[in-house]
């Protein structure tokens, strides 16, 4: 079925379709784990906060 808005010649469209079927960037990915991300962020923020409090305490800032 030809689309009147298609700007490629049929042979060019065939090349594009062949390229897309190669799966060059097709990579298996691990499932997204939002709780793991939240845990990592919580650890990082806690560590940075504790470091800044320790630095302030060592500098004598109350």
What pLDDT sits at residue 52? 96
Task: Report the alpha-carbon distance of residue 2 to residue 10 in Å, rounded.
Answer: 9
What DSSP character marks residue 4? T
What pLDDT sits at residue 39? 98
Q: What pTM does this model have?
A: 0.54
In this predicted structure, the answer to whether residue 1 has a pLDDT above a threshold of 50 is no
The arithmetic mean of pLDDT across residues 49-56, rounded, is: 96
Contact between 13 and 6 (Cβ < 8 Å): yes
Alpha helices (runs of H) in the chain, residue ranges in sequence order:
10-22, 34-59
pLDDT of 8-25, one tens digit each?
899 999 998 888 888 777
Cβ-based neighbours of 16, under 8 Å, separated by 6 or more: 8
More confident site: 37 or 7? 37
């Amino acid at each position: 079925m030809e689309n009147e808005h298609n700007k490629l010649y049929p042979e060019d469209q065939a090349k594009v379709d062949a390229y897309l079927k190669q799966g060059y960037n097709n990579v298996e990915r691990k499932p997204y784990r939002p709780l793991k991300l939240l845990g990592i962020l919580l650890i990082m923020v806690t560590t940075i906060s504790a470091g800044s409090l320790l630095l302030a305490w060592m500098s004598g800032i109350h």
